[in-house]
Amino acid sequence: MNDEPPAAPEPGDTLPLGHSESAHRLLGWCSHCPGRSAAAEVVAWRSWAITLLHTVDEGVCSGA
């Protein structure tokens, strides 16, 4: 995953048919993008979730 978060899609931007809006919003790409696979997207989502859990566990996110 990149160190910098991808730019969020601008309101009104449309994705090609079949692409995942949530994956593009969070990862900057999805499994339907050229050169990407479903397995790569699953790994990216899992990495994101694990990072989020560690961030919360370490107290970086206070939740308040």
More confident residue, 64 or 61: 61
pLDDT digits (tens, 9 = 90+) for 7-61: 555 656 788 888 999 999 999 999 999 999 999 999 999 999 999 988 877 766 6
Q: Is the dihedral of CA 29, 31, 32, 36 positive or negative?
A: positive
36 residue type, one letter:
R
Q: Domain boundaries in the chain?
A: 21-56
pLDDT of residue 64: 46
